[in-house]
């Protein structure tokens, strides 16, 4: 590769619990604030499954007791947006310093760059996914019924297949550092989120589940063969390399990053369920 190519770190964290995953994303952004660092692409999964809520979202809609009984973590993300159940998915995180050529002041432009990388990656699996700029409205549901759920609506710069949402993302700015992370659905477990909503009867939950199923899609529904986490991690890495003309080196977290993970775990990443 040419020495003129921008160099990024690639971190494959494997499967971690929800609080650790969110603390790592926040710690990487915080550490990048104080020093000049390479841009980072991190991929990870969730074990046990977890419901994550947006940074400013209230927990009132979530049945925490049922989550505890079913072994579901409940955590807050360092980004905004609404709640999602993380289970059969690969989650990506991109952390960009201002020094990167792919850092832009406009939020939408960074979304677009990252979405194009993900689209390029998924095309390697022979999946004809699209870069979605349109919005849709929630049909015959009240705003309150769907307000808790990330996948209840699409926003600009998301990735879809035949009009159904495949990737949900959120972004936050830390001064001159961008953190964007998002879920790439592999299986259908995200639909079980409705089981952990408070209030409402089973009929209402079934209606909401049917609605979410009509608006979302997962890789294993559209791929000719089962997509594994490791396979998807590799194509995501290659997709970024090809789309951005960058080169990666694979690393673990540094000592300072690990120390920051420990610090933010007890302070800003509020873990509800252990």
Any idea which residues carry the catalytic annotation? 150
Q: In whole angstroms, what is the distance from residue 146 CA to residue 138 CA?
A: 8
Backbone CA torsion sign across 111, 117, 118, 120? positive
Q: In whole angstroms, what is the distance from residue 61 CA to residue 57 CA?
A: 10
Peptide bond between residue 79 and the one before it cis (omega within 30 degrees of 0): no
């Amino acid at each position: 590769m040419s020495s003129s190519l921008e160099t990024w770190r690639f971190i494959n964290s494997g499967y971690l619990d929800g609080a650790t995953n969110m603390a790592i994303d926040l710690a990487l952004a915080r550490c990048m604030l104080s020093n000049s660092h390479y841009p980072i692409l991190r991929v990870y999964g969730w074990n046990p499954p977890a419901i994550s809520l947006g940074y400013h979202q209230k927990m009132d809609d979530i049945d925490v007791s049922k989550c505890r009984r079913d072994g579901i973590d409940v955590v807050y993300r360092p980004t905004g947006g609404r709640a999602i159940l993380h289970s059969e998915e690969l989650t990506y995180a991109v952390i960009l310093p201002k020094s990167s050529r792919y850092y832009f002041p406009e939020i939408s432009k960074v979304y677009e760059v990252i979405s194009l990388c993900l689209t390029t990656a998924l095309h390697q699996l022979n999946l004809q996914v699209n870069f979605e700029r349109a919005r849709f409205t929630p049909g015959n549901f009240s705003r309150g019924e769907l307000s808790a759920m990330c996948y209840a609506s699409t926003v600009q710069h998301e990735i879809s297949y035949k009009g159904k949402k495949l990737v949900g993302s959120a972004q936050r700015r830390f001064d001159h550092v961008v953190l964007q992370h998002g879920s790439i659905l592999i299986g259908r477990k995200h639909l079980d989120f409705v089981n952990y909503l408070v209030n409402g009867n089973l009929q209402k939950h079934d209606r909401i589940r049917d609605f979410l199923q009509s608006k979302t899609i997962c890789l294993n529904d559209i791929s000719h063969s089962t997509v594994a986490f490791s396979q998807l991690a590799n194509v995501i890495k290659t997709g970024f390399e090809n789309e951005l003309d960058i080169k990666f080196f694979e690393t673990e977290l540094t000592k300072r990053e690990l120390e920051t993970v420990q610090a933010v775990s007890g302070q800003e990443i509020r873990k509800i369920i252990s």
